[in-house]
Every structure is written in C-alpha cells, then in structure tokens.
Amino acid sequence: MAPFCVFALLLDLSAASALNFSTINVWNDENKFGDFYKTSKVEPKYIALYKEKLFLSLYKHEPNISSTLAWLDINATAKPPQLKPFPSPVQSASDCSAVQSARGIAVDSSGRLWALDNGETTCPPKLSIFNLNSNNKIVHVHNFADPVVNHTSGGRWLLDLVLDQSNDDCLMKNQSWRVEIGSKLVSALALSPMGMREFLYIMEYGFKEIFSLSVSDLRSEKEKVTLTSIGNMSATCEKMAMDEQGIFYFNIPSNHSVAKWNTKSSFKEEQVYSVMGVENKSTPCASANRLLRVEIG
C-alpha cells in the first residue's frame, strides 16, 4: 500500500497569482493516524480549515471506530502528526448526541464548525454546531425530522454541506425543509460568492454535468426548484469549491487533477494541477479557501 499523503492548494483570494501545492503531511500505511485511527480503517472525505487546525470527516470501514470527526495541527512538529478525535476522545456508538457518521463540514465567519451527521442505525441524522472559540462547545444541534431526512438508516445518504451565511445570525431559525430536484443523487455542492450570491451549484453522483439553481428560491422555501444545466466536465468529480472572485474549483479523481472555471464566463474547464504517475486511490477534498488532495493506498 502506498503512503497516505495530504497536499494543499493555497488560493490567493485577493489577487491573481500562481497556484502552489505543498505537502502538508505523509503517513506510511503501517503508521497510525493516531491512537484512535489507522489508515486502513478510515478514509478522509471532507475538510474544513480554521486558523491552524484542519478538520476532517472520516468514512469508517469498521464499525468499532468511535469518532468520525477529527482534527490535526497543520504546523505540528511531530511527524507524522496524529489525528485527534473531535470534540473529545471518548464517544459512544449508543450516544446519539455525539456525531456518529460525519459527512460535510464547514466553518463560518464566527468560528463555528458545522458538522453534518448521517447518523447510525439507532441514531437519527442531525446537524451539530460547535463554537471553536469557546472550548468547542456545542452551541446548537438540529435534528432532521423524518419527512425531511429519512430516519431509516439505509434510506438516507447525506453527503456535502455549504453555508449560506447572511448578515444576521444564522442560528436564529431552527428549521429545515426538503427541496424537490427530481431523482438526482447530489454528491457535491458549491455556492457562488457572498457578494454575488445567486446560485447553488450541484453535481450528481456518477455524472459529469453541472447544474445550478437559484439561491433565492432556496431561501424562500420553495418545495420545487428549477435546475439549469451549466456544462459537462471532462469526467466525474467528487468535490467542488468557490473562491470570492467566482472561480469554481473541482477535482477530477480519474486523472488525479484539479480544474477550474471562471463562473463569469460560459463553462470552460481549465486544469490547474495534476499529479502524474499516481496509481493509488485518490480523494481530493475542498474547502472555502483551500483545496486539498488526499491519496490513500
């Protein structure tokens, strides 16, 4: 098995500049991520960055993994650094107040970590919000009602998460609703920038076509919205991200690359990074201002 690597694409959001990748950390397959994880038992899927902490949601390949939300210090001197369970080392599989199956994660401008939880057999799905500036205190938990997200564990597939944060406190409302977009199984999301927040972009699992839908329609709680076809990528993607200039980034796992599109123009794919000669499994991850590429043997 090849080493587990994490690369970072640092985006300069204030000016046009070259995109630079750098290796954050490398874990050999025989090394543990930490006392609670092994590379063969978990697979990083989504990431969020806050100050010097990198948060990761983990798919577990064995049922005895007690925590699927972890973090590491990107400036840690110990190599390889250990993943630490978040928010605490001890979590019970029977404790439905804990994050059971972390999926999409994001940090808002107030330093709050939003974690989408797919739940488990006996634990329904929910959204947990932690204050990273107050000892990781849970400030809110939203439990999805059964009509919104199926409470049957095999009947739901929560994945990605994006935040449409307004000037008002985004915790004032405690409600959720379903939006009808047909039979599409959405696997990746991206929002247009706050200054020109018009569209939510979606990608259907296993397909190449990008669609957009109106953010105003979502805010008005419409039950059914219209999808607009934007274009077709060269291959399917798993993660998408948008910077404040309206540059849309997405990964192409089949050729281990990252591409972009300027949303101010018609869709045109432009490759910005590629790793040659990589044969192991690749899962690039995206956050609001950085793109990370994760390779797992």
Q: How many CB atoms lie within 10 A of CB 179?
A: 13
Task: Choose one of 176, 192, 215: the last residue of a domain.
Answer: 176
Residues 129 and 24 in one domain: no
Residues 85 and 117 in one domain: yes
User: Which residues are CB-contacts of 197 (< 8 A; sequence separation ≥ 6)?
Assistant: 164, 191, 215
Question: Which tokens in the block code for residue 150?
Answer: 């199926």
Q: Measuring CA to CA, which residue among 126, 128, 170, 164 is closest to residue 148?
A: 126
Sheet containing 257-262, strands listed edge to edge, beginning at the edge strand earlier in sequence: 240-242, 247-252, 257-262, 270-274
Residues 102 and 19 in one domain: no
Task: Choose one of 125, 160, 176: the last residue of a domain.
Answer: 176
Q: Measuring CA to CA, which residue among 170, 116, 166 is closest to residue 144?
A: 116
Winning range, highest mean pLDDT, from 14-28, 85-99, 148-162, 226-240: 226-240
Q: d(Cα 53, Cα 49) in Å, to the nearest integer?
A: 6
Confidence of residue 270 (pLDDT cuts 50, 70, 90): very high
Residues 36 and 147 in one domain: yes
Q: d(Cα 104, Cα 83) in Å, to the nearest integer?
A: 18
Residues 137 and 92 in one domain: yes
Question: Which tokens in the block code for residue 136?
Answer: 């990781």
Q: d(Cα 129, Cα 137) in Å, to the nearest integer?
A: 8
Residues 39 and 162 in one domain: yes
* pLDDT tens sequence across 203-254: 998 999 999 999 999 888 888 899 999 999 999 988 898 888 899 999 888 8
Q: Residue 76: what are its φ and ψ, rounded to 5°?
A: -60, 140
In single-letter form, the type of residue at position 183 comes to: S
* H and E: helices and strands count for the chain: 1, 22
Confidence of residue 175 (pLDDT cuts 50, 70, 90): confident
Q: Exposed, middle or buried, 33 (CB in 10 Å: 0-12/13-18/19+)?
A: buried
Residues 198 and 162 in one domain: no
Residues 221 and 266 in one domain: yes
In contact, 55 and 88? CB cutoff 8 Å: no
User: Which residues are CB-contacts of 166 (< 8 A; sequence separation ≥ 6)?
Assistant: none
Give the pLDDT score at 95. Answer: 84
Q: d(Cα 48, Cα 71) in Å, to the nearest integer?
A: 9
- Per DSSP, what are the bridge partners of residue 223? none
Confidence of residue 61 (pLDDT cuts 50, 70, 90): confident
CATH code for the domain in which residue 256 is found: 2.120.10.30
In contact, 176 and 199? CB cutoff 8 Å: no
Residues 59 and 143 in one domain: yes
- Per DSSP, what are the bridge partners of residue 240? 250
Between 75 and 89, residue with greater pLDDT: 75
Q: What is the mean pLDDT of residues 179-198?
A: 87
Residues 82 and 14 in one domain: no
Task: Choose one of 176, 200, 224: the last residue of a domain.
Answer: 176
DSSP string, 267-285: ---EEEEE-TT--SEEEEE
Question: Which tokens in the block code for residue 247?
Answer: 């540059």
> What domain count does the chain have?
2
Write out the residue range of the structural domain in which residue 270 sits: 1-28+179-297
Residues 24 and 132 in one domain: no
DSSP string, 27-67: E-TTSEEETTEETTTEEEEEEEEETTEEEEEEEESSTT---
Give the pLDDT score at 268. Answer: 96
Residues 154 and 205 in one domain: no
- Mean residue pLDDT of the chain comes to 79
Q: What is the mean pLDDT of residues 94-104?
A: 88
